[in-house]
Amino acid sequence: MQEKFLQAYRLVEKAKKVLCIAHKRPDGDTLGCTVAWNLALKAMGKDVTMACVDVLPERFMFLADGNKFIREFDFRAYDLIIVSDAGASYMTRYHEIYPDIFKGDVPVLNIDHHHSNDNFGACNIVDAAAASTTVMLFKLFEACGIPVTSQMATALICGIYNDTGSLMHSNTDLDVFEISGRLMELGGRVHVVARNLFRSTPVSTLKLWGKVLENARINDEGVTISVITWKDFEECGAEGDEISGVVDLMNSVPGAKYACLLNEDRNGKIKGSFRTQRDDVDLAELAGRFGGGGHKKAAGFSMSGRLHREVHWKIIPEKQLPAGAILPETSGIKL
């Protein structure tokens, strides 16, 4: 990994104009990395641009220069592209807008921690064992002698808190605690991160989560399932990003195999989110069946479609029936 870090640093040293890309539907890890890169590269005298295909959620606007992300650009105007925390090239969605962006015209530095990463960069730094991509980025900065400022430390903590559920998920290992402590020593404002990510909830989000929990059930296979339609979003006055985090609450049901949340967006897409606490379940493999990916215990997918509700009723015979009475085990009646 040290050689990969040095390879990345050589690309950065050579570049003059750098484009830093966050993945679609951005979370705290991809944004924490992108903001930290932006600050580090500017300090090195680089001309830096941050981009994301989607508008940043309001709760991440506390990050330095969070309001300076752009959505469109000419990628050939840059001599280096850095993509952080994208589990595959399609996760940026820029391959749809600019089909040649990852074809080698401009070198790409790809840093990530997902099993599903397709190594789309000229330099690929991928560690599926890392708790977050910001953990990896801090190690890169340290290995290459790049100073970490207070604002950078706060951005890196944001990624750690996002991907470890505020240090409560099973991926919170000793490495995470040690790096978090060092980032705090460097001026990282953990209380600001915690307040914005986990202690600042609009009424519209509470209403939306209420609908998710009201719709939740455990199926015959022990999976906690819930759905939310775009109509539900509209009734709650909620935006698409306000669904983030509720699947982790669903994952707290004792004995459940895993949690699955399906939600619609306004553009005719269905997003599936999976979470589990168990070691014998591979959600990355499950999400892969639907064209998605992620980690073993946290994964997801996206596909075109709409949610359609069907209600099935069946007759289940009593354990004890009158002598001579015969009923099928279940009927095929649908109402």
Within 13 Å and on the Cβ side, how many CA atoms surround 143? Answer: 16
- CATH level 3 topology of 2-198: inorganic pyrophosphatase (n-terminal core) (3.90.1640)
Can you tell me the distance from the alpha carbon of 215 to that of 246, in angstroms, rounded to the nearest whole number?
A: 12
Please give the class, per CATH, of domain 203-304. Answer: alpha beta
Average pLDDT over residues 280-289: 89
The full set of domain ranges for the chain reads 2-198, 203-304
Measured over the CA atoms of residue 27, residue 33, residue 36 and residue 41, the dihedral's sign is negative
For residue 318, name the pLDDT band (cuts at 50, 70, 90): low
Q: How confident is the model at residue 47 (pLDDT cuts 50, 70, 90)?
A: very high
Three-class SS state of 38: helix
Q: pLDDT-based confidence at 314, cuts 50/70/90?
A: low
Taking alpha carbons only, the member of 319, 314, 273 closest to residue 297 is 273
Least confident of 79-88, 124-133, 135-144, 247-256: 247-256
pLDDT band of 303, cuts 50, 70, 90: confident
Which tens digit of pLDDT belongs to each residue from 160-198? 999 998 888 888 999 999 999 999 999 999 999 999 887
Q: Is the pLDDT of residue 74 over 80?
A: yes
3-state SS assignment for residue 80: strand
Residue 247 near residue 259 (C-beta atoms within 8 A): yes
The answer to whether the 2-198 and 203-304 domains have the same CATH topology is no
pLDDT of the residue at 331 = 41
The structure tokens listed for 56 are 């940043």
CA distances from 315 to 83, 328, 335 (A): 54, 9, 12
Q: What is the pTM of this model?
A: 0.79
Residue 62's CB: how many other CB atoms inside 10 A?
17
For helices 150-164 and 133-143, the axis angle rounded to 10 degrees is 150
Question: Which one-letter amino acid corresponds to residue 187?
Answer: G
Contact residues for 181 (Cβ-Cβ < 8 A; gap 6+): none
Pair of tokens at residue 186: 């460097």
Strand partners, 109: 82, 123
- Which token pair is 84? 């952080």
Three-class SS state of 329: coil
What is the distance between the alpha carbons of residues 23 and 30, in angstroms, rounded to a whole number?
6
DSSP helix/strand/coil, 315: coil
CA distance 69 to 292: 26
Q: Tokens for 162?
A: 């996002």
pLDDT in tens, 101-145: 999 999 999 999 998 899 999 999 999 999 999 999 999 999 999
